[in-house]
Structure 1
Amino acid sequence: MAVVDLGESPSLGLLYPKAAVAGLTKRGGDELPERVYQWRGVRVDPAHLAAYDRVCGFRLADELPATYPHVLTFPMQVKLMTDADFPFPLIGSVHLRNRISQSRALRVDEEFDLRVHVENLRPHAKGRQFDMVSQAFAAGEAVWHDTSTYLVRGGGSGASSAGSGSAPGAPSAVWRVPEDIGRRYGEVSGDRNPIHLHPLSARLFGFRRAIAHGMWTKARCLAAYEGRLPEAHTVDVRFKLPVLLPAKVAFSSVRVEDGYRFGLVDVRKGKPHLEGVITV
C-alpha cells in the first residue's frame, strides 16, 4: 500500500459536507483504496484528553484510555471514507464492531505516529462489510491497534441477528445516559453525525430520537474497569441495538479465565446495546 503523509489532522468541518454530497453519488463497488494515511509526530493535548475523560467517565490521569487514540485517528478514517475512490458513502454506514489492542500503556507526554487504512471487503447478511484499521506507533514500535467493522446496507441475504445475545449475569451498575451525551461526545471526538446530535436530525435517518455514539458506550464500559486491567489488553465489542437518548442502561460484567465478559442492556426492556470481551 502507498503511504501518504498528511502533516496534520484532516478537518472534519470540511469533510462532513463532502460526506453528505458523496451520500448522493456513491453507489458501491468491489475495490477498496490501497492507501495508508499517516500523521507523524502527534502530541496529545492534555486539555482535550481531560475533556474526553470527563465525558466518558474515566479518571484524569497521565495514561491514555485504550479508546482515546480512536478519536485521534477518526478524522483520518473520515478522510479515507470520503475520498473519491472510496466506493461507499460514509453517512448511513453502520458501526458493527470495534476491537482495540494495546501492548503497553500509552502516556500523554509521548509522541505518536498514527496510520489508517481500510481492508477486508466481504459479504454480510444485510449487505457488505469492511474493516477500518488504525494504528499508533511510538519510537517505531507498534503500541496500539484498532479495527472498526462497518456495514453498508443493501444486497445481502436479509438475515438479522442485531437483537440477539444476553447480558453476562446480573447488572453491577445502572447508568442514566443524558439527552445531550451525543453532542458532548461529538464535541470531543469530532464525530458530529446528525444521528447523535438532536431528535429532529436523527429522524431524518430513521431514528425516533438521537442515539449515543457506539464508541462512547464502549468507552463508558471500559471506564468501569479502571485500576483492574494490566497495561497490555484487548477490548472487543459488538454493537447491537442503538441507545436512544435519554436512556437508562444496565452494565453487567463477569470474570472469565483470561479477562472479562461484559454487556450493556436497556433497563426497561432488557434488549442488548453492546456485548464485549476484555482479554488480558
Structure 2
Amino acid sequence: MTTHHETYTAPPFGPALMLNAFAPSRGWNPKDGFPDFSFIWRGYQISPAALATLQRAAGRDDAATADRLILLAPHVTGFRLTMALLMCRDWPLPIWRALQLRNRLIRSGDIKLDAASDLIVRAIGWRVHDKGIELDVLAQLMQGGDCPWQSITTFYYRGRFDGPASHGADDGAPMASPPIDPSLPPMTQWTVDGGERLRWAALTGDYNPLHLVDIYARATGFAAASAHPQRIAAQCLGHLAPTPEHPTQLDLWLKGPVYFGRSASLREASNDDGTTFGLWIDGDDRPAMVGVMR
C-alpha cells in the first residue's frame, strides 16, 4: 500500500490544489485500495473572521447559535485539508468523481479558539457497491494531548470497482437518513443568498465552479450554481429552535444541490434523542439536506 505523509504549516493553497485536480490519476488498484496517507496542518486555528462568516450565514449571534457553530467550524475551516488529500497527485481517483454524501461531526471537549492546534486527516475505510465506492475520511483536531473534535466525511465515487466489499470501520453517519415529515409546517423560510461565493470557497478550500458560476453550472446540467453544503448547514443551525444543552454530535446527509436564489423551507422534529431537521428547496419533493443534532 502506498504511504504518503505531508505536513503544512500554513493553509493549503487552493489554486495549487486545483492544478493537481487536472493531473492524471494513477487509477484504482483493488489490491491497494485507498492509500495510507496522512495530511497534517500544524498551527491550524479557527479565526474570528471565519466565525463571523459563519454567524452571518446563520443569521444569529446569540450564545446558543455560537455554541452550535463551534461544532461546525472545524469542518468548515479545515475542509481544505481534506481537499488537499483528495487532490494529491498520488491519490488513485480524481476529485471530480467524488461526491460528498454525509458528515458526522463529534465534539468531545472544549475547543480552544485561541490555541494553535494540529488538524490531521486520513482515509479510514471504504465500501464497494454495485455502482460506486464510498470513502470515509477522518479529520481530528488535536490541542495539546487532547482531541476535542473530530469528523468523518463520506464521499462517493461513481463507477464499478473491484476488490473486497469493505475495508476498515464504518463509523460515519448511517447510509440512510432518518425520516422527517414533509407535511410539518416550516419553522422558517428564506431565500438562499448568492453573495460571498468566493469567501466561502476561500473558507472551505472548495473552488468547484458549480458553487461559483451560474453559467458553468447550467452548462453542466444544473439549474444554477449551488451553495457549499457547509454554508447551508450553518444556515440550518441558525434557524433551529433553542436547546437546553450544547450539541455534541451533528450528522448531515447531503441529498441535492441548494441553488442560489431559491426559497428554502426548514422543518424540524425533536425528541429525547435530539433534533431531526430537513431543508426543502422550492419545487423539490425531497429534502436537499437532512440533519440530526444530538
**TM-score, with structure 1 as normaliser:** 0.85
Post-superposition CA distance 1:171-209 (Å, at most 9, x none) = 111121023364442243332211110112223443231
Cα distance 1:117–1:67, how it changes in 2: closer, same or farther (>3 A)? same
Aligned with 1:155: secondary structure? coil
Instruction: Check conservation: 1:116, 1:133, Cα contact below 8 A.
Output: yes
Alignment of 1:118-157 (within 5 A): 118-155=123-160
Instruction: Check conservation: 1:182, 1:210, Cα contact below 8 A.
Output: no
Q: Distance in 2 between matches of 1:240 and 1:154?
A: 19
Q: Distance in 2 between matches of 1:84 and 1:224?
A: 40
| Deviation of 1:152 (Å) | 0.7
Alignment size in residue pairs: 273
In the other structure, the counterpart of 1:219 is 234
Aligned with 2:113: secondary structure? coil
| Deviation of 1:105 (Å) | 4.0
Cα distance 1:104–1:198, how it changes in 2: closer, same or farther (>3 A)? same
Which amino acid letter does the alignment assign opposite residue 28 of structure 1?
Answer: W
Q: Distance in 2 between matches of 1:60 and 1:138?
A: 26
Instruction: Check conservation: 2:25, 2:89, Cα contact below 8 A.
Output: no
Gap regions ≥5 residues in structure 1: none
Q: 2:108 aligns with which of 103, 110, 131?
A: 103
After TM superposition, the structure 1 stretch with the greater mean CA deviation from structure 2, 146-155 or 229-238, is 229-238
Post-superposition CA distance 1:201-226 (Å, at most 9, x none) = 22344323111212222222122348
Q: Distance in 1 between matches of 2:292 and 2:249?
A: 8
Aligned with 1:83: secondary structure? coil
Cα distance 1:185–1:36, how it changes in 2: closer, same or farther (>3 A)? same
Instruction: Check conservation: 2:127, 2:133, Cα contact below 8 A.
Output: yes
Instruction: Check conservation: 2:25, 2:91, Cα contact below 8 A.
Output: no
Identity of aligned residues (%): 29
Runs of 4 or more above 6 Å deviation:
161-164
After TM superposition, the structure 1 stretch with the greater mean CA deviation from structure 2, 10-19 or 200-209, is 200-209
Gap regions ≥5 residues in structure 2: 162-174
The answer to whether residue 76 in structure 2 is matched with residue 71 in structure 1 is yes
Cα distance 1:40–1:118, how it changes in 2: closer, same or farther (>3 A)? same
Q: 2:55 aligns with which of 29, 48, 53?
A: 53
Aligned with 1:272: secondary structure? coil
In the other structure, the counterpart of 1:28 is 28
Q: 2:119 aligns with which of 114, 119, 126?
A: 114
| Deviation of 1:11 (Å) | 0.7
Which amino acid letter does the alignment assign opposite residue 276 of structure 2?
Answer: R
Which amino acid letter does the alignment assign opposite residue 78 of structure 1?
Answer: M
Instruction: Check conservation: 1:114, 1:137, Cα contact below 8 A.
Output: yes
Q: Distance in 1 between matches of 2:264 and 2:176?
A: 17
In the other structure, the counterpart of 1:201 is 216
Instruction: Check conservation: 1:103, 1:231, Cα contact below 8 A.
Output: no
Superposition CA RMSD, Å? 2.8
In the other structure, the counterpart of 2:10 is 8
The answer to whether residue 253 in structure 2 is matched with residue 238 in structure 1 is yes
Instruction: Check conservation: 2:108, 2:148, Cα contact below 8 A.
Output: yes
Which amino acid letter does the alignment assign opposite residue 52 of structure 2?
Answer: A
**TM-score, with structure 2 as normaliser:** 0.82
Q: Distance in 1 between matches of 2:202 and 2:7?
A: 26
Instruction: Check conservation: 2:25, 2:93, Cα contact below 8 A.
Output: no
| Deviation of 1:235 (Å) | 0.5
Cα distance 1:124–1:250, how it changes in 2: closer, same or farther (>3 A)? farther
